[in-house]
């Protein structure tokens, strides 16, 4: 049956009084939740911690994985009044790798209530790391960019596949190297990123923000469903047919009067599993997914900004930055890609205006450290792969280092 435009208008006129309040309520709810969440965030005392490294870092990202496992303990909930009236929610921690004119810094922006936990977790794995509270570097730039002096490019990374597919982690970055390099069998996946960050000059900055908050176990359930699909397991449930059941009821009722015993027509849900023959590649993917599901997960926003004075701005930096994240991709696993909904570089109409608005929006979110939506899910191993203290500190002069090792005074030192 075809519905004409006039019929549609008649339906809208007749039933609009039902639809309009629902739409207005949903719009009001969205605006209200954004308002009270922002108000709650502003009520918190936020601090920025800078991490400086010792001269020699010989730990693999496994150490940082233990840090993230410890940070999962910040997971908290809220009752209905706290959630919908006070705006209470799980605050995010922002892990930041920043290059300011080629000088690389590792920052953590956090509510002060988590600062002690973060310090203790990092010091437990990196005993000689120096962690100091510093001013927020984003305040050193104008409130609004782009402007007459500065231009920028930015993006937010999303997955190429669904969350349960893992990326290539540091465990995949192993190759046999000669024993004269301390016998190590590990290639740091952050080495190429550090190289790009250190290769910018005066008037240029690169911000890479990993904003995280602990996730519930729902993503692990989705991961198990994904494994079932790869294995070819199909779930088939019998559906309820109301008219048929009514007919059968009266049929059985009439049969009772004639002494006929009703048939047992109990409808049950049943699963039919059809196992398919898996290829070696599929078996490997299932094993990697299962290993990832055993770890804690974090909702994650990955935001990248390249900011430079207009006479210094170089578009060649953009593919170089994105290329460093391609190494975590795999055709049979997962990977990162720029979110086309927020990335500058639009087509067709109002190109300059839309590009300008996208750049301003990215800068505003990066400066205010706004977490958007649910993000993607990274487990502790994946997070440690993309954010850890690199083992290339000594070879990279632009990385700030701890110049003196802190030690305890000798026990025989005389006291006054």
Instruction: Determine how β-strand 150-159 pairs with β-strand 336-338.
Output: antiparallel
Q: Check pLDDT > 50 for residue 318.
A: yes
% residues pLDDT > 70 (the chain): 75
Q: How far apart are CA 210 and CA 301, in angstroms?
A: 6
Q: What is the pLDDT of residues 232-275, one digit of tens each?
A: 775 544 445 555 665 565 566 555 555 555 555 554 444 444 55
**What average pLDDT does the segment 389-403 reach?**
58
* Mean pLDDT for the stretch of residues 320-336: 90
> Span 27-215+296-386: which CATH code?
3.40.462
List pLDDT tens digits, range 196-236. Answer: 999 999 999 999 999 999 998 888 888 888 888 888 775 54
Give the model's pLDDT for residue 176: 46
Whole-structure pTM value: 0.78
| 402 CB neighbour count, 10 Å cutoff | 16
Gap between the Cα atoms of 351 and 368, Å rounded: 26
The mean per-residue pLDDT over the stretch 80-94 comes to: 83
Please provide the DSSP assignment of 312-348 as one string: T--TTHHHHHHHHHHTT--TTS--EEE-TTTSS---S
Mean pLDDT, all residues of the chain? 80
Model confidence at 322: pLDDT above 90? yes
Other beta carbons within 10 Å of 117: 15
Higher pLDDT, 107 or 39: 107
At 43 the pLDDT is 80
CB-side neighbour CA atoms (13 Å) of 280: 0
CB proximity list for 304: less than 8 A, separation 6 or greater: 154, 155, 156, 157, 206, 207, 208, 209, 321
Least confident of 22-36, 93-107, 133-147: 22-36
Q: Report the pLDDT value the prediction gives residue 32, as an integer from 0 to 100.
A: 82
Q: How does pLDDT run across 156-212, given as a tens digit for each residue?
A: 999 999 888 899 988 887 654 444 444 455 678 888 899 999 999 999 999 999 999
| Omega within 30 of 0 (cis) for the link into 146 | yes
What end-to-end distance do the CA atoms of the chain give, in Å?
98
Complete DSSP assignment for 182-231: TT-----TTHHHHHHHTT--TTEEEEEEEEEEE--THHHHHHHHHHHHHH
């Amino acid at each position: 049956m075809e519905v004409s435009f006039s019929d549609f208008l008649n339906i809208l006129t007749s039933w609009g009084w039902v639809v309009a309040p629902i739409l207005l309520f949903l719009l009001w709810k969205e605006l209200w939740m954004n308002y009270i969440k922002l108000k709650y965030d502003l009520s918190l005392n936020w601090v920025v911690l800078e991490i400086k490294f010792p001269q020699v870092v010989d730990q693999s990202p496994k150490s940082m994985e233990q840090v993230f496992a410890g940070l999962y303990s910040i997971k908290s909930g809220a009752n209905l009044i706290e959630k919908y009236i006070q705006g209470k929610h799980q605050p995010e921690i922002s892990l930041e790798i920043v290059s300011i004119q080629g000088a690389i810094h590792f920052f953590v922006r956090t509510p002060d209530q988590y600062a002690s936990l973060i310090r203790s977790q990092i010091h437990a794995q990196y005993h000689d790391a120096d962690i100091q509270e510093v001013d927020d570097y984003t305040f050193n730039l104008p409130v609004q960019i782009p402007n007459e002096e500065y231009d920028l490019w930015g993006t937010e990374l999303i997955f190429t596949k669904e969350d349960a597919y893992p990326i290539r982690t540091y465990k995949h970055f192993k190759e046999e190297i000669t024993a004269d390099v301390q016998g190590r069998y590990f290639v740091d996946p952050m080495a190429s990123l550090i190289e790009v960050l250190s290769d910018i000059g005066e008037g240029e900055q690169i911000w890479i923000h990993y904003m995280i908050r602990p996730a519930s176990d729902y993503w692990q359930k989705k991961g198990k469903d994904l494994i079932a699909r790869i294995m070819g397991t199909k779930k088939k449930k019998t559906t309820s047919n109301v008219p048929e059941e009514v007919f059968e009821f009266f049929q059985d009722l009439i049969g009772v009067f004639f002494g006929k015993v009703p048939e047992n027509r109990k409808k049950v849900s049943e699963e039919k599993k059809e196992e398919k023959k898996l290829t070696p590649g599929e078996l490997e993917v299932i094993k990697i997914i299962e290993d990832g599901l055993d770890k804690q997960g974090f909702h994650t926003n990955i935001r990248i900004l390249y900011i430079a004075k207009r006479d210094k701005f170089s578009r060649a930096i953009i593919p170089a930055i994105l290329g460093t994240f391609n190494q975590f991709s795999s055709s049979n696993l997962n990977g990162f890609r720029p979110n086309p909904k927020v990335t500058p570089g639009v087509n067709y109409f109002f190109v300059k205006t839309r590009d300008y608005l996208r750049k301003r929006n990215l800068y505003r979110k990066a400066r205010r450290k706004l977490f958007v939506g649910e993000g993607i899910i990274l487990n502790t191993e994946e997070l440690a792969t993309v954010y850890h203290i690199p083992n290339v500190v000594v070879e990279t002069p632009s990385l700030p280092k701890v110049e003196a090792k802190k030690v305890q005074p000798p026990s025989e030192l005389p006291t006054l």
